[in-house]
Chains A and B, each alone.
Chain A
């Protein structure tokens, strides 16, 4: 049995991985509702874009482990949510080998971006006090 909604992907009937993805897209979406909107507000309303130079990010934005953890959590959720969302779009408009190739390409790109984001948030030096 699948639940049909007017704006979202229908709940997969089979269970297993696809049903887990369906739930996780919604769960990560809920997390991102808070994290991404807060992130946009901080970077555009609390601070103006002009002040956010590399040095400022080292000294202020990522000066504490807490903010790095929050931003890394957001990175994790957004990579999962956005790439699995685009996977749904690809699945709707392609099939067969093209679909497989594009989906594998998406997964590879997701891993590369996740690695790059994790790398910068984990290795950027803390400010010298």
Chain B
């Protein structure tokens, strides 16, 4: 059987993936076959699932870690209300500044996405038949996200241009 272009003409090249993957040979033809196979696997990893389902999952994870990081800061600053009220008021001034307000808007966006998509996950976990609508549910999350989020962001950010910020 002639080997396809780019694949070394060895018997190894046509073997099943699992068999070749287990081999740890460093002889040139086998190594080349392995490299080709790794490139092939890499393409398959890049194509891993994809689409709305994967984006929903990735954004849920990113927003979750971001909100967690803010909570570390937030418990610390509220602790200062008792431990060092003067320092707390200085931190509050940072929150009220224009940069602070942009940061709070981003935290709010992360929180809102995580909350809405979290509800979507709960719905699909406890009523599995709704999973066929997972894309539509995700689009519904985005509708609520923007309907609630745009006016919300306006309220938080508008003191920046009206000059009413701290």
Interface residues in chain A, defined as those with a beta carbon under 8 Å from any beta carbon in chain B? 3, 5-8, 11, 26, 29-30, 32-33, 36-37, 40, 44-45, 48-50, 52-55, 57-58, 75, 78-79, 82-83, 85-86, 89, 109, 113, 116-117, 119-120, 123-124
**Closest chain B CB from A20 CB (angstroms):** 15
Interface residues in chain B, defined as those with a beta carbon under 8 Å from any beta carbon in chain A? 53, 56-57, 60-61, 64-65, 67-68, 71-72, 75-76, 78-83, 85-86, 88-89, 92, 95-96, 100-101, 104, 108, 111-112, 115, 117-122, 124-126, 128, 131, 134, 152, 155-156, 159, 164-166
Q: Contact: A45 with B155, CB < 8 Å?
A: yes
Q: Which residue of A lies closest to B85 (CB)?
A: A54
Cα–Cα distance between A41 and B128 once the two chains are bound (Å) = 32
Contacts of B75 in A (CB 8 A): 75, 113, 116-117
Q: List 14 A-B contacts (CB under 8 A).
A: A3-B125, A5-B121, A6-B56, A6-B131, A8-B60, A37-B115, A44-B108, A48-B159, A49-B92, A49-B166, A53-B89, A113-B75, A116-B79, A120-B82
List the 6 closest pairs (A to B, CB-CB), nearest first.
Answer: A54-B85, A6-B53, A8-B121, A120-B82, A82-B68, A50-B166
Contacts of B164 in A (CB 8 A): 48, 50
Q: Contact: B119 with A33, CB < 8 Å?
A: yes
**Closest chain A CB from B82 CB (angstroms):** 4
**Closest chain A CB from B129 CB (angstroms):** 12
Q: Contact: A82 with B121, CB < 8 Å?
A: no
Checking B65, B96, B112, B118 against A29 with a beta-carbon cut-off of 8 angstroms, the contacting residue is B118
Given known contacts A50-B96, A53-B89, A54-B89, A3 and B128 CB-to-CB distance under 8 angstroms: yes
Q: Contact: B155 with A120, CB < 8 Å?
A: no
